Amino acid sequence: MTETIIKTENLTKTYSGSNVKAVDNLNIEIMKGEIYGLLGPNGAGKTTTISMLSTRVAPSGGKAIVAGYDIIKDSLKVRKVIGVVPQDLTTDEDLSGYENLMMVASFYDVNKNKAKEKAAQLLRLVDLEEAANKHVKTYSGGMRKRLELIVGLINEPEILFLDEPTLGLDVQTRSQMWKYIRDIQEKLDVTIILTSHYLDEIDALSSRVTIIDHGKVLVTGTSEELKAKLKGDIIMMTFKTQEEAEKIKEFPNLVDVKDNGPKSVRLKVQDSDRELPNVIEFISKNQLSLTRMTVQKPSLDDVFLEYTGKGIRDAEGGGEFRQTMFNMRRLRR
């Protein structure tokens, strides 16, 4: 993973009629073959970033090179080498999965025989062979999302943008989608840029992640690197009385301590494996009656909290599974 495939320099977007920068001097570099995660709360600028990189929205400042092409000067060339799976559903419900693929192939001027072959390959890849000739309106939510995934691949792109590929799906269907996304990356040798609200998704799929909020990069790294930066494990404890919960705050060697509801505290220690025996000793020496204790190594949730100052749940808002009519303009060049 050494070849750069996307690079932005101070990429900025202010929508007309608004003076808020939806994307604010964004600098990111994505390597060929990565599954790169863009993580951020509602309104962070994820979709706007993808829209600019896929040449659907013109930047108001800065530049970006995608697969060697400038998104402004060479936008047509960029479009030929990318696939986009937008946040909203786009396939036509009154057509079959196969017909949807063939229609999109025609927008891209893919030769008909080639398109047939490709459609069959893609339908097989996401286990939609049997449903291929059924109307999309008969598909389950997961099947529909799988079809959306491969529609973005019919023109054999080098880069695939996935905007919230599992939004609105149940937990089990989401983890199935992860398998398909990994398969796509490996078997079709594409670079994937993925946005998500779901920390576990980014954790499970991404080689690297950038957390953005208010259009700005807060941090970039592998999820391991980001977690390591937090330097600390969390020990949650609940006591019988509030006094006892106060007392534990006197434990030495704390990196941080916060209240966590009535009679509960959240301690951060450098290394829980090392400190836990000392914590137990402190509790016993002070005769505190502990009713509950959990130990947590940092997760990407904690990383998010650390950098944005809010939990992803607070930031998440509705997260409705929106559905829009098929938009032909989207695909016209």
- Binding interface with ligand ATP (CB under 6 A): 15, 18, 20, 22, 40, 42-48, 87
How far apart are CB 49 and ligand ATP at their closest, in Å? Answer: 7
Residue 294 has phi, psi (to 5 degrees) of: -135, 145
Strands 82-85 and 159-163: parallel
How far apart are CB 75 and ligand ATP at their closest, in Å? Answer: 18
Our finding on whether 47 is near Mg ion (CB under 5 A) is yes
* Stretch near Mg ion under the rule CB under 5 A, chosen from 21-29, 40-48, 68-76, 231-239: 40-48
How far apart are CB 307 and ligand ATP at their closest, in Å? Answer: 15
Nearer to ligand ATP, 15 or 76 (CB): 15
Calpha distance 248→316 (Å, rounded): 33
Our finding on whether 166 is near Mg ion (CB under 5 A) is no
Residues 6 or more apart whose CB falls under 8 angstroms from that of 225 comprise none
At 209, list the tokens. Answer: 């992640």
| 176, 142 contact by CB (below 8 A) | yes
How far apart are CB 207 and Mg ion at their closest, in Å? Answer: 21
Nearer to Mg ion, 49 or 191 (CB): 49
Calpha distance 244→164 (Å, rounded): 44
- With CB under 5 to 8 Å by kind, the binding choice for 15 among ligand ATP, Mg ion, none is ligand ATP
Nearer to ligand ATP, 33 or 168 (CB): 168
Cα separation values, 46 from 31, 105, 123, 171, 217, Å:
18, 27, 28, 22, 11
Q: Under the rule (CB under 5 A), what is the footprint of Mg ion? A: 46-47, 87
